[in-house]
Amino acid sequence: MPLGAEPEVHAVKLTRRSFLRTTVAVGAVGVAGACGRESAPAPGATVEGSRAEALRWFSAKGYAPIAASPLITEIPFNDGLAFDEHFDSSRDALYVVQPCSRVEDVHKKDSPGTLPRFTIFGVVPAPNTPVADPVADIVGFLTGPAGIDPARLRVTTTDLSRAVFPLLAELGIASDRIRLQPVEKAMREGAGSGFFAPAGHPHHPAIPTFSVEFVMADGSEIEIAEIATEPGDDSGGAIGLERVTMARNDRLITWSEQLPVFKQSVEEDAESRGVALPVGYYEILGLPRPNAAMTN
């Protein structure tokens, strides 16, 4: 979930109205609020610790694990590297801890929080679950076990997600911290700050979303989650474990810090499965492509 260009945003004035199943939403909010009062940021938080907190939180809420996809996909999209998580149809609520890398981020490597290799904690609810549930579960994790102050969170989205604004207010993200960008712009970019539909994506996702940003002490913002706001196969959301850890520590992890982790992860995946190093490996490391590398 790379940090995109700063969106064109407008302040939102909000009137209270019911959202989906109000009793479900309020109940979930109560749990999240109670957990938030008991939690505080962990000094020296690690990505492994953030992962463990997420596992405990979502397991307790009935989500079951599935295996992550390999980091090397052996398909041309994203130059052969895993772009995001993917869930097949299921009757259960599921989560996955998915390693990812996005070649497009090479051009944004100096942007706060952008990494050559990162980990998505993705969740999808069971069919026919109200959208309120995963929204409350994900935001509740951020402000509960992760110990993030909701006053330092911002949301970027479009009018397509206006129905979730009352729930976000209950979760501690007030209307004056929700930024709107034009629907057409969000759909054209497809990056998740209002609409998720990356060009060329093999699974063709296309769903209204909102992104959650954390304001660092220096005023910079990093996106730490994206959450869908319509039910369907692509509903649910994703948390960036490295980004959450940055927020917990109020300290950025840099591209250069993570570059050796990227190199080792791709090389180990290639060796263990007997596959070629993908084009994306060379692109991200800034190395010339050998003739044996996968081509588009």
Condensed to tens digits (0 to 9), the pLDDT of residues 119-161 reads: 999 999 999 999 999 999 999 999 999 999 999 999 999 999 9
d(CA 60, CA 66): 16
> Residue 12: its pLDDT value, please?
40
> Residue 235: its pLDDT value, please?
82
> Residue 18: its pLDDT value, please?
32
pTM here?
0.83
Buried b (16+ CB within 10 A) or exposed e, 3-19: bbeebebeebeeeeeeb
Run of H or E residues at 212:
strand 207-215
Task: Judge contact between 159 and 208, C-beta under 8 A.
Answer: no
Residues of the chain with confidence (pLDDT) below 70: 1-43, 233-234, 292-296
> Could you tell me how many residues make up the chain?
296
> Residue 156: its pLDDT value, please?
98
Tokens of 43: 């000094």
d(CA 173, CA 142): 12
- CA angle (120 as vertex; 117, 121 as ends), nearest 5: 150
| Cα within 13 Å of Cα(204), Cβ side | 0
d(CA 211, CA 191): 9
